[in-house]
Structure 1
Amino acid sequence: MGNSAHWSADAAAATGERIRALRGQRGISLSELARRAGVGKATLSGLETGTRNPTAETLYAIAGQLGVPLATLLSTPGEPLGADVPEVQGTAVAAQLLEVFQDGGISTELYRLEIRPGVLQTSPAHPAGVVEYLTVFSGTARVGPVGDPIVVRSGEHASFASDGPHVYAALGEEPVHASLLIRHPLEVSEVSGGSEVNRS
């Protein structure tokens, strides 16, 4: 994973079409979605027309306001993931969507994750009931709710509720290489949870 995102024109256009279609299905104007997601109207317009490459934070904010998993913006539900699914870049995180599967009313996304050292990424809240599971293969990460992040070392895994603002950071000078599972209720319900670290 590199430090700059590269989206093909087709991938950017496809993501923009998905955002626009979901917004239309919900009867939300472009201005209103931009306001709710906390992004500029020009930025959202550029995303919908495929002329801007979104950051992870922007995509998460939009997905949260549309009430869908991030994967819904990156791929077509029910279809196999293609080779052109773009890597999503944030302030500190680079994430590559590897798989999406559904089971018992839950949509689960699997990502390959790299957290770059020296910067902190704050991601916006996901819908109620969303939980993330991080497995660290190398490096040391600090992740979790803004007010109560947890440290996860190489060989450990952690889970935390991500329905509030949450952070990702690499501790030390080495990047963190990890996998991330995001479990997203298909029918959003009020579910709350705490943080937990498990050692292998």
Structure 2
Amino acid sequence: MFFKKYDKLVASLFAFLTFIFFILAITNRDFLDWAFARHHNQLSWFIRPIFLIPFCYFAYKRSWSGISITIFSLFTSMFWFPEPEMVSKQVELFLDYEVEYLTSEWGLSKILLTLLVPISFLLLGLGFWKRNLWIGLSVIVMMALGKMMWSVTSAGESGKSIMIPAVVGLLLCVAFIYWGFKKLEKKKESIGK
């Protein structure tokens, strides 16, 4: 009830916190190093795609606060896990590349490329807001393929280190979202009868 009543207020608060987190990450090297030390734990790589499931659910339910809290959780999940004791060389090289990407100069082409992330989330949210399963799933597949392609073309061999978490995350998301969508639609139909 609270989230329904204060939906846009809670959404604005978590959108602001997500923005602050992003600015902090690209402007404060100590914070970025602390966060990425924990992001070396590949559990965070496997959990991150799973956040697309609640994101799609909240878009389907048209809950701004649910969407915003999910995005905040997705971004912060990179440092939920402890620093791993051992890290493969490929993972280390790939994350070094990501840190370099975030901390190097932000020109127009980099800004436009980075804007693909929020645009993808906007399209994903619209797909499920409009309750169109096929548009939503198409966007999820494009997001996963885009991340994998960017990783390999930008970071080279080390970019392949995200392939297993990305594919596992994609398959889980598609399966659970498809199942959940069908279940929600069936429930909606039974209520409408």
TM-score normalized with structure 1 length:
0.23
Structure with larger Rg? 2
Richer in helix (by share): 2
TM-score normalized with structure 2 length:
0.24
